[in-house]
Amino acid sequence: MPGKVKLHYCDGRGRMEAIRWLLAAAGVEFEEIFLETAEDLDKLRNDGRLMFQQVPMVEIDGMELVQTRAILNYIASKHNLGKDLKERALIDMYVEGMMDLNEIIIMLLTYPPEEQVNQLALLKEKTTNRYFPAFEKVLKSHGQDYLVGNRLSRADVHLVELIYNVEEFDPGLTANFPLLKALKTRISNLPTVKKFLQPGSQRKPHEDMKTMDKARKIFRF
């Protein structure tokens, strides 16, 4: 078996966290190489290892993959987290919506404080009025334990990550979504996910200004 999966990113959630969740849920061990300085990023770029000069980058199966979605799709397909073409269409559709909502969280601290207040309000509004109702409805419509195909897929993993993320801003956001709460509990109890949720795992903490300041230095923005 070739070398371990290696993740190249900063020591924070950002766009890499969804990849960490998925690998962890699939029971795949991975190493992390953290960017500490702008020079670290420059080196990766100059060595020609970043196709579009951007991270995340994941070394896996002899490839250096970039583009978050491409990476997530590869890992999910490889580890059987989505069956046939129609199921995959549903999974993709759900996950794209989740990524749109998660994007607000990823970008939150890049805004000036006054704008952060607006973005936070937007996050809560979209969670409550658009995204959580959609997923609650999916679960209600088939009454099954998982979002798609009556089996665990990456859609479940990403949704539970998202639920944890939004609850960090306001624990009350899941109050009116009993099926989402039940999904969260169920997925959290899967052995691989349970392990990832424990202290000492490779899960990264809630983003703060310290991580943001470091990211600004590395990515020069």
Partner 1 sequence: MAAKPKLYYFDGRGRMESIRWLLAAAGVEFEEEFFETREQYEKLQKDGRLLFGQVPLVEIDGMALTQTRAILSYLAAKYNLYGKDLKERVRIDMYTDGTLDLMTMIMGGVFKPLAEKEETLASVVKSAKTRYFPVFEKILKDHGEDFLVGNKFSWADIQLLEAILMVEELDASVLSDFPLLKAFKTRISNIPTIKKFLQPGSQRKPPPDSHYVALVRKILQF
Sole binder of partner 1 in the list 9, 21, 131, 196 (CB under 8 A): 131
Sole binder of partner 1 in the list 65, 109, 187, 215 (CB under 8 A): 65
Q: How far is the CB of 188 from partner 1 (least distance, A)?
A: 25
Q: How far is the CB of 108 from partner 1 (least distance, A)?
A: 19
Terminal-residue alpha carbon distance, the chain: 39
Neighbouring residues of 38: CB distance < 8 A, sequence distance ≥ 6: 217, 218, 219, 220
Nearer to partner 1, 10 or 65 (CB): 65
Answer yes or no whether residue 110 interacts with partner 1 by CB under 8 A.
no
With beta carbons less than 8 A apart as the criterion, state whether 155 and 121 touch: no
- Would you call 30 exposed, middle or buried from its count of C-beta atoms within 10 A (0-12, 13-18, 19+)? middle
Q: How far is the CB of 42 from partner 1 (least distance, A)?
A: 15
Size of the site for partner 1 (CB under 8 A): 31
* Dihedral angle of Cα 35, 116, 104, 121, to the nearest 10 degrees: 150
Q: Which residues bind partner 1 (CB under 8 A)?
A: 51-53, 61, 63, 65-71, 73-74, 77-78, 85-86, 88-90, 92-97, 100, 130-131, 134
